[in-house]
Amino acid sequence: MAPKILTPELKDRFWVLLIGKGYPPPSVRFRWCSERLKIRPVKNFLKRAKNDCGQFPLVLTGVRLNEGNNRKKNLSNRFIGDKWMKYEKLSDCTVYAPLLNLNTSEIWEYLSYNERKWGINLQHLKDLYSIVSDGVNGFRTGCWVCTLIKRDKSLERLMEKQPELKPLVEFRNLLVGIRDNRELRQRVERKGKSYLGPLTIETRKRILNDVERIWHLPKEEKEAIFEIWRGQ
């Protein structure tokens, strides 16, 4: 069976929510991205699979305990056995984590041992990790637009070797500045109280113009954005 790439529903996509609805760039206090971009599409796929097959498929995950204290704490609440866990909010769905107790160096050792047998060349990946962290064991990164952190030091380090990535770094930093600028948010009145609301239309238009200098949004996402704007 060919791999299936999961995509969020149009209404849940990053640019539709950020530019269309004016969601502020994600922060620790308002982390709307993970649920809509990752968790929800996977859960919907698993539910469809259960409807088709009568039961949930087994979920394999690459999570590891030594990725951080927060990750370890979250995983410990879901254990049902050695390397077996419950899928969050889907009680009948089981998750298996074969890499759970391995450290980063053991992962690379395993890949290197099997590289020739699998008929693949991982040198490009090793070079990429080494550029960023002076060794393959120290590199971690996520979405290039992630604003949950103040600076993406991995992306900045990679930019030093690959200058063509500079527009990505500059745009990500622009989003961080927008996230932290309360003046770029609309005020919402509810029950006699005033709250910070979505980004202003002017700010959303600026983000759209800036992102399209480095990457063209899919046509369907732009149409969804403009439809939201017309309704506001």
pLDDT at 4: 87
d(CA 98, CA 222): 40
The DSSP code sequence of 98-129 is TTTT--HHHHHHHHHHHHHHHT---HHHHHHH
**Where does the pLDDT of residue 12 fall: very low under 50, low under 70, confident under 90, or very high at 90 and above?**
very high
* Global confidence as pTM: 0.87
The β-bridge relationship of strands 90-96 and 59-60 is: parallel
Least confident window among 21-35, 64-78, 110-124: 64-78
User: pLDDT exceeding 70 applies to what percent of the chain?
Assistant: 96
Q: What angle do CA 209, 211, 217 make, to 5 degrees?
A: 95
d(CA 208, CA 229): 12
Mean pLDDT, rounded, of the chain:
89
In the predicted model, is pLDDT for residue 189 greater than 70? yes
pLDDT at 139: 64
Greater model confidence, 135 or 179: 179
pLDDT in tens, 199-211: 999 999 999 999 9
Closest CA to 134 of 113, 111, 158: 158
pLDDT in tens, 58-111: 999 998 888 778 778 888 878 888 899 888 778 889 999 999 999 888 988 999
